[in-house]
Structure 1
């Protein structure tokens, strides 16, 4: 297939990856028509919303990219069959969650949506179509996709159809996705068809230097995505394990991280101790890797990677236990303000957010939680905690009935001062910039003394907390 013939792209899946990726491709390739399709009408309506502040995905800079391209060569639609039929290239960018039941439950990826997409492509494609795996997939998933596509000998109009399959995994960090797309460290394209690879290279070459476009075989590409996330997650678990040792010995994990990060062989990235990793990828991809290792008879390798996830969970439970211990051994009936619910700053994504496990542990202990996050709405928090919000109590009137009964409750707070008023403790779980700029001299008098600040993100200035008369716990900071 001639490289110059790529004029129409269809992306199946309008989520965190598909929407922003296609928006940038459309923005940088004005000669290519890009259509993002999804069967979720509400999601498509949100992408087409005239108010760009209400896009279904929050990413800094995304609204500007959509504004430039939408309506020109970027389209969002539920007309899946028509978009596939018109496309020279189809990206599969659907969710691949961890299976909850059946073979491989708790570790293997649920590929039902990928298979459904492949079958839809066989029904709707015309002529020659390049199918690109954008979703994070287990190694050798392309074999299944190829087998399904091979079953389609003719298109719906009777003409011959042919396919090529490529793997083009995403390496986006939520909060910097647009920056990562516009100036990527690398673009990885795996495949066996040189012409198909060249066609996809021609798309990225509109803005990505050739030396940053890496070509591999299909299996290396699929495995590279899982491995990249596993290595990043392992660094987070490693530094968090050291943070616990620092607290026990009187060392400071920030100083240790600076010392080892200065070694060029190690580097400074992903050495920030905190409440553990979250998001849609790290845990899911490592568990997928664990499953694959066991499937291919490598139990020792599987156990190694599984320990990364186990330590991540341990760190979150440890933070919750620390809060309970510092508050005289009980948080029952006590007001605790949680600042930050998203798994990281500059995103509204709460998937596998550390705040979920920490909040659940405290609720189990009977805590009364006021939760503030600038981008996460209360409905999402309720779904994540599997507990509806209660009405914000009147601090002046004393304990609520729920508090007296020992029942854990939570309520959303749009205002930081309101969340903190009457609180016994504040826990910072997301590194939003506004939490770095809080005036603790003003906030401290609102709290019930003796009060604590638990800084799981190293965003506060210790001297300011101490000057305000508050007790401070910072992750990885031992007491001399």
Structure 2
């Protein structure tokens, strides 16, 4: 059954969700206060890089089921309203900044008409849904006819379209009793095609639903920092963290995913989510439960410093007068997102210590320039490597793995590369005369003819 949906917020989450819901057959009005962003999306242009989204936008717009607007009134008669605005880290604090969520709910409340369901998808501190439900019921005209559900998102950048159309689970946080039953029934209609494909549905209370996303991200962050802690031990012991990860990953209680040692995680979710989780736990008096996340965060940040130290060692212990090539600016491949990017953090630290740094990325250069205008940028990997005394591989784009080490060796000043993601073929590079370092692995020295 086709429903009328509104999507409030057309950032990364909202734009993908709106286009995907239209693809599933619903009529969708997507709303944002940013007129430029709305104009771009209405023309079928995604304001960020996400594989598959341009095609999804084009299809949804052509069907007539998707429209974009800045006017809340045009979204007022929707059966279901999805709130998809961001919750960045509050400046100078660990806690989440709730201004955008609160203002979106308050503005939406003024325009609600008749029986309707409001669904929060943003990642929020536990306790937010109960507070917002009270606000909706007090401020919305006919507030007793308004229901609230919390339906957290689990998008992976680079796979957001797939994760929205074919999620591995759906979580509904609903009010107990009849009101919650009505909310679940409406969400089941929204996701009817997805549920028919066999996607499991977990129905729970507000607080549990709010905790699912931050708990999942905290677990993933812990797993990444665990293998990076083992990387530190491997370096001290002369062991190989890649072989170690392979060995323990065969244990099905552990699994191989997220055991890739390197310079750690970044982006707009994991770092700010674990910090906000710690902050909220402190407010609830449960701060001792999450003290381990402080070390998870510390290990992650330490990896960046270690990469800088390795780069300095490869430059004969001084960056002064040296040229450093950085391959990667996005925090992960298949994305142009540079928020809390480990690659750019390392690049900036190396530059501050005196090196001439040139960065390349297949998709994220424009965003990187805006955030780090003092760095130099190149249009190709080989251009970035021109005259470099050391090359840093910091975002695992496939094109960097496919580089010809022999060709690359012709443009650098010194054939030295540090693999910050442990993804390069060691033998290909050493056979071409390169010395390769990697976090948590013994040095691979150029083969002698």
> What's the TM-score, normalizing by structure 2?
0.94
Quote the residue 1:215 is aligned against. 203
The answer to whether the aligner puts 1:265 opposite 2:253 as a matched pair is: yes
* Matched-pair contact (CA < 8 Å) for 1:339–1:430: yes
1:114 CA displacement: 0.8
Quote the residue 1:34 is aligned against. 28
Equivalences for 1:90-239 in 2 at 5 Å? Answer: 90-100=81-91, 105-152=92-139, 154=141, 162-192=145-175, 193-208=180-195, 209=197, 212-239=200-227
* Matched-pair contact (CA < 8 Å) for 1:291–1:302: no
1:188-207 deviation per Cα after TM superposition (whole angstroms, max 9, x unaligned) = 11101111111111211222
Quote the residue 1:412 is aligned against. 377
Q: 2:269 aligns with which of 273, 281, 291?
A: 281
Q: 2:407 aligns with which of 442, 448, 461?
A: 442
Quote the residue 1:463 is aligned against. 427
Counterparts of 1:130 and 1:434, CA distance in 2: 45
Quote the residue 1:22 is aligned against. 18
* Matched-pair contact (CA < 8 Å) for 1:152–1:161: no
Give 3-state SS (helix, strand or coil) of 1:446's partner.
Answer: coil
Counterparts of 1:16 and 1:372, CA distance in 2: 23
1:475 CA displacement: 2.1
Counterparts of 2:42 and 2:443, CA distance in 1: 53
1:238-274 deviation per Cα after TM superposition (whole angstroms, max 9, x unaligned) = 1111112112212111111111110011111111112
* Matched-pair contact (CA < 8 Å) for 1:10–1:35: yes
* Matched-pair contact (CA < 8 Å) for 1:89–1:131: yes
Structure 1 residues 153 and 48, CA gap change in structure 2 (3 angstroms): closer
Q: 2:293 aligns with which of 295, 305, 308?
A: 305
Quote the residue 2:390 is aligned against. 425
Root mean square deviation of aligned Cα: 1.7
Quote the residue 2:77 is aligned against. 86
Structure 1 residues 153 and 419, CA gap change in structure 2 (3 angstroms): closer
Counterparts of 1:324 and 1:9, CA distance in 2: 54
1:133 CA displacement: 0.7
1:23 CA displacement: 1.1
Q: 2:8 aligns with which of 12, 21, 30?
A: 12
1:429 CA displacement: 0.8
1:73 CA displacement: 4.3
Counterparts of 1:107 and 1:121, CA distance in 2: 28
Counterparts of 1:260 and 1:206, CA distance in 2: 38
> What's the TM-score, normalizing by structure 1?
0.88
Q: How many residues align?
A: 439
Equivalences for 1:225-374 in 2 at 5 Å? Answer: 225-374=213-362
Give unpaired runs (5+ residues) of structure 1. Answer: 390-409
Structure 1 residues 168 and 220, CA gap change in structure 2 (3 angstroms): same
When structure 1 is superposed on structure 2, of 246-255 and 217-226 the one drifting more is: 246-255
